[in-house]
């Protein structure tokens, strides 16, 4: 019979992927005699005991893959809220999101009463060209009914290789009988940047940081210059409810507005792992005034951009305190076994401020007027429960120590993430427009407050930053 230590060792190989077998074997041979690794193998024996017991005695025969994946995910999620295991499917989905393009139909959908409901067809895509409309119900895919599938499963079936057809059975209000629509899949690009002109101000909303973000932002700025012309007063960069994305895209977006200086610092476990991203000459906006909008839903890459432009005094940050996710996650592929998302560093603004469990405080605070149904909910939820600081197991902010009386400083981050659908009711947007036009000089009159700034320590020069860490 296999010894427990050997069983645990091979179980651990399953957890780490067979590609790492040689390396792990060498490590165990080199360090097996040390006290530290003796304790590690004792714990692996424990894991082996539990796994054997579950496989032999559980009331139903468990799935071995599920057991191992759950064990891996449990190990990673115990580190912090953002480290996790990605199964092969989840890894592929993550790549689609960060790449910003996939083979599909080009429709935004939701699930309603067991069938897929079209929220909106995306312009210039196979779905819009085939005549799909908002509120259409999709009941069958290639003749197979959707009832019983989850939304994710239905979406997976609608995606596929470019130039392959799929037949959708549609139920439409005002049409008596269901009818079939044949659609040929094409490359669908997720536009991370949405822009429009507010008369003499360019409004640019960045919804996520994928591989297309920088390119789409450049196009939006060029279009604003062309359409507004010499009357252009400035830019509103809306980062509200933007959850983050690729670190290199956050750096590129910040660089688009800066002529020089640091963009972000990333610091790993050891001081020698500190890296620094630097801006290059060339401000795409030609020095025009910029307002950056943030709220409690602005996280990670969004906070990098807001913090960089704030520290360099290149933009005025308006809104409410951001989410406070100041850590960098690196995606480490495991071959056919998926990947792990592992927190490998904290990031700091150019003036060496850590945002972790703290967030970015705006230069000018503008609170939204909540509708009645949200007011009661807001009153029952503490402000500190809306950001990174409220997540169980979050990384501590290294700048937080103890107060003068010896008590630990309480971490607070995040704020309301509510944004009205109607632009005229959006107090943060309306203040930004007035600010750029020079008509909102008195912040108090405009319903805004200007917080007292706190000095930040000076930044330290370091090397270039990491590429493509995921936030």
410 has catalytic annotation:
no
Catalytic option among 80, 248, 255, 311: 311
226 has catalytic annotation:
no
- The encoded tokens of residue 22 equal 């040689």
Which residues have a Cβ under 8 Å from the Cβ of 374 and sit 6 or more positions away?
A: 418
- The encoded tokens of residue 177 equal 């009988």
3-state secondary structure the chain: CCCHHHHHHHHHHHHHCHHHHHHHHHHHHHHCCCHHHHHHHHHHHHHHHHHHHHHHHCCCCCCHHHHHHHHHHHHHHCCCCCCEEECHHHHHHHHHHHHCEEEECCEEEEEECCEEEEEEECCCCHHHHCCCCCCCEEEEECCEECCCCCHHHHHHHHCCCCCCEEEEEEECCCCCCCEEEEEECEEEECCCEEEEEECCEEEEEECCECCCHHHHHHHHHHHHHHHHHHHCCEEEEECCCCCCEEHHHHHHHHHCCCCCCEEEEEECCCHHHCEEEECCCCCCCCCCEEEEEECCCCCCHHHHHHHHHHHCCCCEEEECCCCCCCEEEEEEECHHHCEEEEEEEEEECCCCCECCCCCCCCCEEECCCCCHHHHHHHHHCCHHHHCHHHCCCCCCCCCCCECCCCCECCCCCCCCCCCCCCHHHCHHHHHHHHHHHCCCCCCCCCCEECCCCCCCCCCCCCECCCCCCEC
Neighbours of 199 (CB within 10 A): 9
Catalytic option among 254, 298, 300, 302: 300
**Ramachandran angles phi, psi of 258, nearest 5°:** -115, 150
Measured on CA atoms in the order 310, 314, 318, 323, is the torsion positive or negative? negative
Tell me the sheet residues that pair with 169. 140, 180
300 has catalytic annotation:
yes
Half-sphere exposure of 13 (CA within 13 A, CB side): 16
Catalytic option among 267, 325, 427, 466: 325
- Minimal CA–CA distance to 247: which of 285, 187, 173, 302? 302
**Ramachandran angles phi, psi of 278, nearest 5°:** -115, 140
Which are the catalytic amino acids? 300, 311, 325
């Amino acid at each position: 019979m296999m010894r427990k230590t050997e069983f645990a060792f091979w179980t651990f190989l399953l957890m780490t992927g067979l590609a790492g077998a040689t390396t792990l074997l060498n490590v165990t041979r080199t360090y097996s005699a040390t006290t530290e690794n003796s304790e590690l193998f004792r714990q692996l024996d424990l894991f082996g005991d539990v796994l054997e017991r579950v496989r032999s005695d559980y009331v139903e025969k468990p799935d071995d893959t599920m057991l191992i994946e759950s064990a891996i995910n449990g190990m990673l999620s115990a580190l912090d809220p953002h480290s996790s295991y990605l199964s092969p499917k989840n890894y592929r989905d993550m790549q689609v999101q960060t790449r910003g393009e996939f083979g599909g139909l080009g429709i935004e959908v939701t699930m309603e009463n067991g069938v897929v409901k079209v929220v909106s067809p995306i312009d210039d895509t196979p779905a819009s060209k085939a005549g799909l409309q908002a509120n259409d119900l999709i009941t069958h895919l290639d003749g197979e009914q959707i009832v019983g599938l989850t939304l994710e499963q239905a979406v997976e079936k609608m995606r596929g290789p470019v130039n392959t057809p799929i037949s959708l059975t549609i139920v439409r209000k005002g049409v008596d009988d269901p009818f079939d629509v044949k659609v040929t899949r094409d490359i669908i690009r997720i536009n991370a940047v949405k822009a429009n002109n507010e008369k003499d101000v360019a409004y640019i909303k960045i919804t996520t940081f994928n591989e297309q973000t920088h390119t789409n932002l450049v196009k939006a700025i060029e279009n604003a210059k062309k359409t507004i012309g010499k009357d252009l007063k400035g830019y509103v960069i809306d980062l509200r409810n933007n959850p983050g994305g690729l670190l290199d895209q956050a750096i590129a977006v910040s660089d688009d507005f800066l002529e020089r200086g640091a963009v972000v610092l990333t610091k790993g476990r050891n001081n020698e792992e500190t890296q620094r991203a630097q801006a290059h000459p060339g401000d795409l906006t030609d020095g025009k005034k910029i307002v950056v909008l943030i709220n409690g839903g602005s996280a990670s890459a969004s906070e990098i951009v807001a913090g960089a432009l704030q520290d360099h005094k290149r933009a005025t940050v308006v809104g409410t305190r951001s989410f406070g996710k100041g850590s960098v996650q690196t995606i480490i592929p495991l071959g056919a076994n998926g990947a792990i998302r592992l927190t490998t560093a904290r990031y700091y603004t150019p003036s060496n401020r850590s945002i972790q469990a703290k967030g970015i405080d705006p230069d000018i605070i503008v609170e939204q007027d909540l509708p009645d149904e949200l007011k009661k909910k807001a009153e029952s939820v503490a402000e500190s429960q809306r950001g990174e600081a409220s997540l169980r197991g979050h990384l501590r902010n290294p700048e937080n120590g103890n107060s003068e009386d010896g008590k630990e400083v309480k971490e607070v981050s995040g704020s309301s993430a509510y944004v009205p659908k109607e632009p005229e009711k959006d107090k943060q947007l309306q203040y930004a427009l007035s600010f750029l036009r020079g008509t909102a000089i008195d912040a108090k009159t405009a319903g805004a407050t200007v917080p007292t700034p706190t000095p930040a320590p000076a930044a330290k020069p370091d090397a270039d930053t990491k590429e493509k860490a995921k936030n």
